[in-house]
Amino acid sequence: MQLSLSPEDQTFRTTAREWLAANVPRRRAPNDGRPARDFALAWLARCNAGGWSGISWPDEFGGRGLSQERLIVWYEEYVRARAPSVLDCTFVALNHAGPTLIACGSDEQKGFHLPRILAGESIWCQGFSEPGSGSDLASLATTGRVEGDHLVVNGQKIWTSFADIADYQELLIRTEAGSKRHHGLSWVICDMKSAGITVRPIENMAGAVHFAEVFYDNVRIPLSEVVGDLHDGWRVAMNTLAFERKTAAIGLQLELSVKVEDLIDLAAPPRGSAIAERLATLRAEAAALRAMTYRTLLREPETPSDGSLVRLCFAELAQRVNRTAMDILGADALLENAWTHDYLESYSETIAGGTAEIQRNIIAERVLGLPRVKTQ
């Protein structure tokens, strides 16, 4: 077990730190809409110009192909520099869509989309969840009927992040009529400007529009936009989810340590006070979350679901940190500011991408081997 940087890695850290110091935007990112899109794309374009886009993507696809060490170092510096949250509207493109195309896309798909993603020229959104299948992805019902060399898509997605400002969508649909559960799905690139698409934005409880419902009324998508094989979408989708859960979360997880430090500065609690005790525990937990983040990257997992532990641990710690902030803020907790905004946003941590209840089921069943029960 080693956690030691080579001289070259040390130099890499210095380079990263200096670049970030010179380039991180001073103002906080806008919450949503066109301003959020413009801000995020500008920041990504800047990163790309500096050679910091697609840091974990392989060289051959235009990424930086960083080793695990350097990925960690990069994110350590990134969050220390208070750079914009990695969970912005470029997240899906960089961390879902791009890696999926790299793994399963055709040469044409890769050639067209990957450079645009890296350069900060296209926003992607995810079209997985449906009204009837929030936690239960396998039950999805949006259909794609093959007509000649097109798919004709009908149905509805929900909880699609940034659909209102996205250029493309990674769309999971049922292409084999009458198929059940994981079978007969396809993973398709959907141009959001296609005729027949209606986007209805959903305001969230923090007053921001991240989510949307997307309706598909005979939307025609060329079969050439299917990623991987037709009807093989589940395998393609699982690929994406695995990627998300391992790599892309580093930035978010490490960010929490910074947030705890900011909170300690804000509170300046007298020693021995109740709030000092809470902050001391949060600090220790943030350290442990960081340790889990490192281990997720730097150790072979014992089961493929090991990552679900750190994911849930992060989600609930993020909520505790934000709740503590509200208690510290006093009357300012009633105003709109960065803390209250983050507090309200943090309610999604245990809901989006699989509720905490589902995550605990997964840990119990797949990590610990407890029996699966049909009705659950």
Partner 1 sequence: MTCDLNLSGEQRQIIDAAAAMLRTEYPVDRRRRWVADDLAAAAAFGMFGLGLPEGDGGAGFSLVEEALVHVLSGRHLVSSGSLATALGARLARAAGHAELADRLVAGEAFVCAGVPAGDSVLLMERGEAAFALVFDNRDFELREVGAALASEESALGHGASVERIPRVSKGVIARSAEPRMLAIADLLVSAQLLGVAEAVRDLAVAYAQVRQQFGQPIGGFQAIKHHCANMAIGAEMLSCQLDMAAIALRDGREDGAFQVAALRRLAPHVALANARLSIQVHGGVGFSAEAAVHHYLKQAHLLSRLGSAADILDLPAPLAPLVRVQERN
Residues with a catalytic annotation lie at 244
Residue 345 CA to residue 339 CA, distance in Å, equals: 10
Give Cα separations from 161 to 8, 89, 90, 208, 221 (angstroms): 38, 8, 10, 11, 21
* Residue 7 in contact with its own copies, rule: CB under 8 A: no
Where does this chain touch partner 1 (CB under 8 A) — which range of 35-43, 102-110, 229-237, 263-271? 263-271
CB of 373: closest distance to its own copies in angstroms? 6
* Residue 274 in contact with its own copies, rule: CB under 8 A: yes
Q: Is 173 helix (H, G, I), strand (E, B) or coil?
A: strand
**Nearest Cα to Cα of residue 61 among 98, 23, 28, 14:** 98
Interactions with its own copies, residue window 173-202 (CB under 8 A): none
- Alpha-carbon Rg of the chain, whole angstroms? 21
* Residue 65 in contact with partner 1, rule: CB under 8 A: no
Q: What is the DSSP letter of 227?
A: E
Paired strand residues for 145:
152
* Residue 67 in contact with partner 1, rule: CB under 8 A: yes
DSSP 46-82: HHHHTT-SSTTS-GGGTS----HHHHHHHHHHHHHTT
Q: Among its own copies, partner 1, none, what does residue 204 contact (CB within 5–8 Å per kind)?
A: partner 1
Where does this chain touch partner 1 (CB under 8 A) — which range of 186-194, 225-233, 237-245, 364-372? 364-372
25/132 with CB nearer its own copies: 132
* Residue 264 in contact with its own copies, rule: CB under 8 A: no
* Residue 338 in contact with partner 1, rule: CB under 8 A: no
* Residue 335 in contact with its own copies, rule: CB under 8 A: no
**Nearest Cα to Cα of residue 74 among 51, 105, 40, 43:** 51
> What residues contact 102, with CB distance under 8 A and at least 6 apart?
57, 58, 61, 110, 114
Q: Among its own copies, partner 1, none, what does residue 274 contact (CB within 5–8 Å per kind)?
A: its own copies
Residue 336 CA to residue 153 CA, distance in Å, equals: 41
Here's the x/- map for partner 1, 23-62, by CB under 8 A: it reads as ----------------------------------------
Where does this chain touch partner 1 (CB under 8 A) — which range of 34-42, 49-57, 190-198, 329-337? 329-337
Cβ atoms of residues 344 and 337 within 8 Å: no
Q: Is 19 helix (H, G, I), strand (E, B) or coil?
A: helix
Amino acid letter, residue 16: A
Q: Which of 15, 50, 80, 246 binds partner 1 (CB under 8 A)?
A: 80
Q: Is 146 helix (H, G, I), strand (E, B) or coil?
A: strand
* Residue 375 in contact with its own copies, rule: CB under 8 A: yes
Q: Is 182 helix (H, G, I), strand (E, B) or coil?
A: coil
- What are the backbone angles phi and psi of residue 347, rounded to the nearest 5°? -60, -25
42/368 with CB nearer partner 1: 368
CB of 239: closest distance to partner 1 in angstroms? 24
Q: Among partner 1, its own copies, none, what does residue 340 contact (CB within 5–8 Å per kind)?
A: partner 1
Q: Which of 35, 51, 111, 132 binds partner 1 (CB under 8 A)?
A: 132
CB of 45: closest distance to its own copies in angstroms? 48
Q: Can you give the binding site for its own copies, defined by CB under 8 A? A: 270, 272-274, 276-277, 373-375
